[in-house]
């Protein structure tokens, strides 16, 4: 088989990213320009600022990705880009860039679903991982339990009814004064706290045992904080963070392990920004070992948004013959 080298672009939220990936699993370069510091003062991502920053940074990221890989546009077999879901103005920057490159070079254009990218991050460091397997996808916008039946073939068996897991981390972090981005800050604070200091609720949804709900948990944490304030009690940030994280992590791990057992899969992967959470990684590893399930997880840098994962997903689309036209558009609510 001939080598396939893909230039991949990602701009769906607040990271401008470009990567060169060979044969879906070999990352030749992975450039990420994070805007987190710019959005921190606003306590969250400001869509217009994100778009404007993508416009400024995109060409530099692509140039750096090609040069670090020792490639030029001539060496590339295809250009791939996230075309949804995400912030529409942010997505349009990457989509327009990829279309321009495809138009100028005549190379094929491949649109990638952002979540499919997150799932495919698992292929990069695990050369032995092949479908079928179960994947828990937990990010700022999504909490999905998915059966990956084949490359590019998914069955969603559970999803959140309200907040995404990452969203809950971000909201609770803001409420306890840890600021944005909440996930990594709660992760760090939780290491210093007592996870059994409080018992926060873990929602189970009747008749939809694989679905998630995090809004009740979030409200319960917010109520506790307000009560403590009213009674003039000192708030132990670390204990709240540890107890909240434990509640989220136990639900995520419980659902994922149950899905493997009931659907009969012995491979479980995690993906998305929340998959970099150290509490989740530890408990999942322990439960997988106890249940004889092989556990796969990307390195933290491949869990949060990046373009290498888009290049990994695009390879399997490329092999199937998927090609997009120059009329490709951003689809902010693209379904999996
Ligand atoms: O996948 P991602 O980079 O972007 C989306 O597609 O949403 O995920 C970002 C989310 C944010 O909500 C962030 O707070 C969360 O992932 N996150 C974490 C950690 N690192 C990032 N949540 C918990 N623990 C972490 N270490
Ligand atoms: Zn993401």
Q: Same structural domain for residues 108 and 73?
A: yes
Ligand at minimal distance from the CA of 173 is 1
What's the gap in Å between 274 CA and the centre of ligand 1? 4
112 DSSP β-pair partners: 82
Compute the Cα dihedral for 105, 111, 114, 120 and give only its sign. negative
Indicate the pTM of the whole model.
0.97
**Residues 215 and 281 both lie in one domain:** yes
- Containing 285, the helix (H) or strand (E) segment is helix 278-290
- Looking at 36-152, which runs of residues are DSSP E strands? 78-84, 109-113, 133-138, 143-150
Q: Is 94 in the pocket of ligand 1 (CB under 6 A)?
A: no
* 305 alpha-carbon distance from chain centroid: 6
Q: Are residues 309 and 294 in the same domain?
A: no
94 lies in the same domain as 142: no
Domain membership flag for residue 45: yes
Ligand 2 centroid, distance to 86 Cα (angstroms): 8
ipTM for the whole complex: 0.99
Which tokens sit at 206?
A: 């009747």
- Backbone φ and ψ of 5, nearest 5°: -110, 125
Residues spanned by the domain of 234? 131-299
Residues 273 and 314 reside in one and the same domain: no
Distance set, CA 289 to CA 31, 57, 198, 283, 293 (Å):
34, 43, 28, 10, 6
CB 139 near ligand 1, within 6 Å? yes
Pocket test for ligand 1, best of 166, 168, 306 (most atoms within 8 A of CB): 166
User: Ligand 1 centroid to 128 CA: how many Å?
Assistant: 26
**238 CA distance to ligand 1 centroid (A)?**
19
Task: Kindly state whether residue 212 falls inside one of the protein's structural domains.
Answer: yes
46 known ligand binder: no
Q: Is 94 annotated as a binding residue?
A: no
Per-residue pLDDT of the chain (336 residues; tens, 9 = 90+): 799 999 999 999 999 999 999 999 999 999 999 998 888 888 889 999 999 999 999 999 999 999 999 999 999 999 999 999 999 999 999 999 999 999 999 999 999 999 999 999 999 999 999 999 999 999 999 999 999 999 999 999 999 999 999 999 999 999 999 988 899 999 999 999 999 999 999 988 988 999 999 999 999 999 999 999 899 988 899 999 999 999 999 999 999 999 999 999 999 999 999 999 999 999 999 999 999 999 999 999 999 999 999 999 999 999 999 999 999 999 999 999
* Pocket of ligand 1 contains residue 276 by CB under 6 Å: yes
Contacts of 147 by beta carbon, 8 Å cutoff, 6+ apart = 132, 133, 134, 135, 154, 155, 157, 259, 263, 265
CA 302 – ligand 2 centroid, Å? 10
Q: Could you tell me which of 56, 42, 48, 57 has the C-alpha nearest to residue 89?
A: 48
In angstroms, the CA 54 to CA 217 distance is 34
Instruction: State whether the beta carbon of 141 lies less than 6 angstroms from ligand 1.
Output: yes
What CATH code is carried by the domain that includes residue 103?
A: 3.30.420.40
289 in a structural domain: yes
Write the residue with the smallest CA distance to atom 10 of ligand 1. 140
Beta bridge partners of 7: 20, 79
How many other β-carbons are positioned within 10 Å of the β-carbon of residue 219? 13
Query: Does 186 map to a domain?
Result: yes
Count of domains for the chain = 2
Provide the edge-to-edge strand list for the sheet that holds 26-34: 26-34, 15-22, 5-10, 78-84, 109-113
Residues 228 and 287 in one domain: yes
Residue position matching structure tokens 């100028």: 104
């Amino acid at each position: 088989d001939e080598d396939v080298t893909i230039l991949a672009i990602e701009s769906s939220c607040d990271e401008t990213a470009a990567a060169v990936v060979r044969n879906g699993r070999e990352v030749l370069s992975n450039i990420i320009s994070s805007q987190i510091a710019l959005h921190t003062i606003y306590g969250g991502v400001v869509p217009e600022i994100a778009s404007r920053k993508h416009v400024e940074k995109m060409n530099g990221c692509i140039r750096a990705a090609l040069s670090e890989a020792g490639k030029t546009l001539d060496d590339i077999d295809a250009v791939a880009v996230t075309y949804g879901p995400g912030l529409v103005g942010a997505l349009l920057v990457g989509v327009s860039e990829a279309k321009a490159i495809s138009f100028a070079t005549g190379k094929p254009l491949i649109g990638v679903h952002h979540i499919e990218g997150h799932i495919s991050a698992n292929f990069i460091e695990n050369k032995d991982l092949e479908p079928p397997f179960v994947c828990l996808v937990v990010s700022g916008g999504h909490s999905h339990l998915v059966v990956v039946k084949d490359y590019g073939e998914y069955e969603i068996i559970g999803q959140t009814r309200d907040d995404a897991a990452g969203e809950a981390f971000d909201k609770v972090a803001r409420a306890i004064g840890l600021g944005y981005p909440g996930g990594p800050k709660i992760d760090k604070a939780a290491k210093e706290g007592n996870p059994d200091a409080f018992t926060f609720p873990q929602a189970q949804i009747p008749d939809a045992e694989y679905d998630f709900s995090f809004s009740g948990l979030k409200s319960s944490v917010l109520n506790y904080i307000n009560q403590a304030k009213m009674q003039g009690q000192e708030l132990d940030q670390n204990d709240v963070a540890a107890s909240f994280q434990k509640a989220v992590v136990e639900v995520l791990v419980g659902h994922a392990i149950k899905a493997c057992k009931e659907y009969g899969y012995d491979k479980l992967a995690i993906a998305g920004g929340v998959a970099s959470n150290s509490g989740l990684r530890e408990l999942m590893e322990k439960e997988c070992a106890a249940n004889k399930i092989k556990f796969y997880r990307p390195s933290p840098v491949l869990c949060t948004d990046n373009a290498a994962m888009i290049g990994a997903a695009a390879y399997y689309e490329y092999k199937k013959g998927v090609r997009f036209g120059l009329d490709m558009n951003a689809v902010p609510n693209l379904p999996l």
